[in-house]
Structure 1
Amino acid sequence: MIGAPNRFAHVHKSAATYLDVAANDHGDEKGLLVYRALQRVESPEPHLVEIGPGGGAAVEYIATRAAEEPRPVRLTLVEAPGVSSTSLTDAIGRFNAVGSCVLVHGWAQDIGRLLREPVDVISASALVHEVYSYGGAYSGLHTLMRTLPTVLHPYGYFVYRDVYAVTAPSLHERVVQSYSSQSWLQFWRMFVPHYLREGTHPYHHHDDEVVARQNSRIVPVTELDTRVCAVIEAPVGLFREVQRHYITCRDHVWRSGILGFRPVLDGPLSGDWIDFRTGHKRVHYALMESDRIPTMQRANLLAVSEPFDDHQVIDGDIFDAVSDVALMAFMSEAEQGADDCVRTWDSWLTREGREAYAYLTLDELLSAFAVHSINAHPGRDLVLMPVSADDVFTRDRRYYNRFLTHRLSNPLVDAKQMVLFQNIPLSDTETLQRALGTLQTICSKPTLARPGSRCGPGIPVPRRRAGTPGHRCGRGGRPR
């Protein structure tokens, strides 16, 4: 799936509780743009490729859609060596009932050698941040961007879905946030020094220094007092990383059952909404046989819950508050060396503790794809850009955003970024003008000038209409 076998956590990424369950949801979202691309492809036998199929959620969605297609559909799946999934095997079987599907193992940056011929659509969900994290940082990312046009047919599509970064000109823009929650301060103390030391991240410049203050005095992050409000100044991208890692850590600890309860995070019961618009939902959970949850806390939890079949159901806001207290105790014990807590913490840290979820803003991402895809292959002048405005959008994580709003003073939006890139020949000035017009509504002027200047003198950069924002657009600075 990615490009650095020496750092990729094969065992942890293949664990059934992760690949078959935790990372195997949102199949309709993962397959949405794939199906949109399939509808636009004119090939009599479309060939689709998915890099990093995980547990096969998108494969199942595409199989459902392929059953409605009058044309035969071919699907090739590219997964990292050593990574396997029972649910993916089942999904492949279901796809083969309506089309043809094969699985090959290899790294994303070797996609040019793995595919014997150009294909119509390539899809990657949550792949690009892993290429950045394990495959050479920006160099690996740019290599992938240069490779994609060479393995796509002209007018083929690349479907991108990954974690939304931030609404800012740069991930390095310095901002100030305050933290009063004990569990978040504990997480900063344990995770951030490890991430800055061990992870693949871009925060190496002197202006990227993390400055934490408590009681108006600068303190090292490793010495943050969880009982005292902290005011922290750092790059906005780093705050984004802390948010996303806190959520993945919390969900990992929840699934382990080590807190004394295990919430239902997958399947129909995970979407028991009180108000979907505001992200307010009920949480279904089972109490575990554990001495970690005190008798009084267990009684209090049951007092605000209701029985539901063989488990309990509780208001999500109440559950989040209870969970944060338990998570704080868990992290404190892990820091002090409690064996079971250390094992659970280390298993999450090994799987995701080095990953960079925010590596480029949307503005930078669209520009980088355009610039690095141009002239990627001698004699084939192609550029990857979204053509239509509705091919660039975000999907908010409403529940997570509600949780973050209740815990943080300046929460950053948690969402998935979706882009459908088309492999456009530079000779097609009409399509290029449409694509540059789409970038005009999203990107800043300097960013817009980069692909425009590379596309050749015959392709003028569209002038920004009066009143059109620069890198920001739509609600909260995100493309609609």
Structure 2
Amino acid sequence: MSTSTFSTALKTAPGYLDVAANAHGEEKAFLALRALGRMRTSRPRLVEIGPGGGSAVAFLASRLAAGEHRDKDVHLTVMEVPGVVSESLARAMEEFGQVGTCELVTGFAQDLADIVGEPADVVTASALLHEVYSYGDGYSGLHDVIRTIPTVLRPGGMFAYRDVYAVKAPSLHERVVQTYSALSWVRFLRMFLPQYLREGTHPYHRSADLAVFRQDSRIVAAEALDDTTSTLVEAPVGIFREVQRHYITLRDHIWRSGVLGFVPHLEGPPASDWIDAKRGHKRVHYALTDTDWLPTSQKTMLLALSERYTDHYTVDGDIFDECTDIALSAFLELAERGDGECAQVWERWVTREGRETYAYMTLDALLAAFAVSSTEAQQDERTVLMPVAVADVIQQDRAYYNRYLRRNLPNPLKDAKQLVLFSNLPVAGDSRSLGEGMHCLQQWCGRANLARVYSAINSGR
């Protein structure tokens, strides 16, 4: 079991930013483009917090170059933490410089108001809050960031936000039951979950949040799970959300490392070779590596089911996933024993992401938190952050991952992204927009949170 100190160093390493954290540019920039379309000014100021490898910057540049919003001269400020260097971000900024103006500033999200000198029309961020929650000050740091955002937005400005979908439940603490029977999943539970619950920043500290593991109808400790036996787990639904997301991120991390003997294309056109996009069925393109610990029979079987494609191979995604899980199980066994390269790859993942919390809020709680905390911002004119149209709240299913999860878990949780376009509405003088915002919240929030929002807006200071 790893006991290394959790560090953010690997999260800001150029290799991670340029590759693993540099995908989905279109999805990241989608709401920012929509927000720019609503701006009446001809010279909108756009701020992106945490640009990573610059995939959203590059996509914005491509859309502006194609003539979208041609009536606007966009000035973009990208804000990254000090010391982070990304070659792909530098290239993306050069591309943006051909269609607008672009500058890089350094600092932390909590200090946004001190770094951005002039009020912005649009602020955009991806995965910001779960990063702040996991690496900063938990919920207090998260709410501090929310209170900061209105202070850098003009009244009527917009905040475009994208993050991992939480769950559709009254609370992340709602207890449910999940069954794990696949060897790799049970082995992952034993290696990951005790460490996450012990060392991660998460909200599952109540006595009612205890995770209970049963094998052969007997309660067992997570560290003592027999990975050859089906496991029944009773725990808060949020914990199962963490298990799913971390397993997926670990799988992608191991794929990229090449330690399994093959490296799939996870970015670019080959990553979108769909057989049936709606059902998440794709062809996987991959290249072989020189890993020698993996049994030759496994590589031979994979190659027998694949086809040659220029300088690499392609195979049905379902077949690739099944072969991957067999190899992943062998990888986890070696990693748990502390064996060579497998142990190093596992340790890098644990240090970088193994204690991160993805699902800190349901969508109901997230929308209410933004509305309530934004009214507490220190500014002369009180504003509130709310979506003003039902279409400003989007759940984007991740069909490929959901297909995989359905094949491995009896009752998987939906894997998706949640995107919200918040408007910075003046509390006084714009009753029409406030009414639209409250109507929008009614589609997603329960009565208790609606009451909290109503009280925050009308309570004054």
Taking structure 1 as the reference length, the TM-score comes to 0.92
Q: CA deviation at 1:19?
A: 1.3
Instruction: Map Cα deviations across residues 100-129 of structure 1 (whole Å, 9 max, x no partner).
Output: 100111100110111112111110011111
Query: Equivalent residue of 2:263, what SS?
Result: strand
Tell me if structure 1 keeps the 8 A contact 2:10–2:351.
no
Residue aligning to 1:23: 21
Instruction: Map Cα deviations across residues 221-243 of structure 1 (whole Å, 9 max, x no partner).
Output: 01110110010000100100000
The answer on 1:36 being equivalent to 2:34 is yes
**In structure 1, how many angstroms separate the alpha carbons of the residues matched to 2:392 and 2:255?**
35
Residue aligning to 1:47: 45
Query: Equivalent residue of 1:307, what SS?
Result: strand
**In structure 2, how many angstroms separate the alpha carbons of the residues matched to 1:261 and 1:145?**
42
Aligned residue type for 1:433? G
Structure 1 stretch 285-294 or stretch 214-223: which is displaced more? Answer: 285-294
Tell me if structure 2 keeps the 8 A contact 1:284–1:311.
yes
Residue aligning to 2:112: 111
Aligned residue type for 1:98? V
What's the RMSD between the two structures over aligned residues?
Answer: 1.4
Tell me if structure 1 keeps the 8 A contact 2:168–2:362.
yes
**In structure 2, how many angstroms separate the alpha carbons of the residues matched to 1:124 and 1:358?**
17
Q: CA deviation at 1:70?
A: 1.9
The answer on 1:443 being equivalent to 2:445 is yes
**In structure 2, how many angstroms separate the alpha carbons of the residues matched to 1:8 and 1:159?**
28
The answer on 1:397 being equivalent to 2:398 is yes
The answer on 1:10 being equivalent to 2:9 is yes
Residue aligning to 2:207: 206
The percent identity for this pair of structures is 56
**In structure 2, how many angstroms separate the alpha carbons of the residues matched to 1:13 and 1:329?**
29
Structure 1 stretch 20-29 or stretch 176-185: which is displaced more? Answer: 20-29
Q: CA deviation at 1:313?
A: 1.1
Tell me if structure 1 keeps the 8 A contact 2:8–2:135.
no
Residue aligning to 1:178: 179
Residue aligning to 2:455: 453
Q: CA deviation at 1:263?
A: 1.2
Change (3 A) 1:457 1:85: closer
Aligned residue type for 1:247? I
**In structure 2, how many angstroms separate the alpha carbons of the residues matched to 1:126 and 1:141?**
12
Residue aligning to 2:339: 338
**In structure 1, how many angstroms separate the alpha carbons of the residues matched to 2:35 and 2:379?**
26
Q: CA deviation at 1:247?
A: 0.4
Instruction: Map Cα deviations across residues 73-102 of structure 1 (whole Å, 9 max, x no partner).
Output: 100000011211101000000111111100
Aligned residue type for 1:14? A
Aligned residue type for 1:442? W
Residue aligning to 2:150: 149
**In structure 1, how many angstroms separate the alpha carbons of the residues matched to 2:261 and 2:379?**
60
Query: Equivalent residue of 1:53, what SS?
Result: coil
Residue aligning to 2:293: 292
Tell me if structure 2 keeps the 8 A contact 1:10–1:82.
no
Query: Equivalent residue of 1:371, what SS?
Result: helix
Residue aligning to 1:218: 219
Query: Equivalent residue of 1:81, what SS?
Result: coil
Tell me if structure 1 keeps the 8 A contact 2:6–2:351.
no
Tell me if structure 2 keeps the 8 A contact 1:78–1:105.
yes
Q: CA deviation at 1:457?
A: 7.7
Aligned residue type for 1:319? F
| Within-5 A mapping of 1:115-130 | 115-130=116-131
**In structure 2, how many angstroms separate the alpha carbons of the residues matched to 1:363 and 1:267?**
34
| Within-5 A mapping of 1:301-450 | 301-427=302-428, 428-450=430-452
Is there any run of 5+ residues in structure 1 with no aligned partner, and where? 1-5, 459-480
Q: CA deviation at 1:378?
A: 4.5
Tell me if structure 1 keeps the 8 A contact 2:265–2:285.
yes
Residue aligning to 1:62: 60
Change (3 A) 1:317 1:422: same
Tell me if structure 2 keeps the 8 A contact 1:11–1:83.
no
**In structure 2, how many angstroms separate the alpha carbons of the residues matched to 1:399 and 1:296?**
27
**In structure 2, how many angstroms separate the alpha carbons of the residues matched to 1:63 and 1:360?**
32
Tell me if structure 1 keeps the 8 A contact 2:261–2:288.
yes
**In structure 2, how many angstroms separate the alpha carbons of the residues matched to 1:417 and 1:8?**
27
Taking structure 2 as the reference length, the TM-score comes to 0.96
Query: Equivalent residue of 2:458, what SS?
Result: coil
Residue aligning to 1:137: 138
Residue aligning to 1:463: none
Instruction: Map Cα deviations across residues 404-458 of structure 1 (whole Å, 9 max, x no partner).
Output: 0000011001111000000000111111001000111111111111111222289
**In structure 1, how many angstroms separate the alpha carbons of the residues matched to 2:371 and 2:236?**
26
Query: Equivalent residue of 1:384, what SS?
Result: strand
Q: CA deviation at 1:7?
A: 5.8
How many pairs does the alignment contain? 452
Query: Equivalent residue of 2:286, what SS?
Result: strand
| Within-5 A mapping of 1:68-83 | 68=67, 69-83=70-84
Structure 1 stretch 209-218 or stretch 376-385: which is displaced more? Answer: 376-385
Q: CA deviation at 1:252?
A: 0.5
Residue aligning to 1:269: 270
**In structure 1, how many angstroms separate the alpha carbons of the residues matched to 2:242 and 2:115?**
32
**In structure 2, how many angstroms separate the alpha carbons of the residues matched to 1:376 and 1:291?**
57
Change (3 A) 1:291 1:378: closer
**In structure 2, how many angstroms separate the alpha carbons of the residues matched to 1:379 and 1:20?**
40
Aligned residue type for 1:195? Y
Residue aligning to 2:244: 243
Is there any run of 5+ residues in structure 2 with no aligned partner, and where? none
**In structure 1, how many angstroms separate the alpha carbons of the residues matched to 2:442 and 2:72?**
36
Instruction: Map Cα deviations across residues 157-185 of structure 1 (whole Å, 9 max, x no partner).
Output: 01110000001010000000110001000
Aligned residue type for 2:14? A
Query: Equivalent residue of 2:122, what SS?
Result: strand
Tell me if structure 2 keeps the 8 A contact 1:172–1:235.
yes
Aligned residue type for 1:9? T
**In structure 2, how many angstroms separate the alpha carbons of the residues matched to 1:392 and 1:298?**
44
**In structure 2, how many angstroms separate the alpha carbons of the residues matched to 1:303 and 1:379?**
68
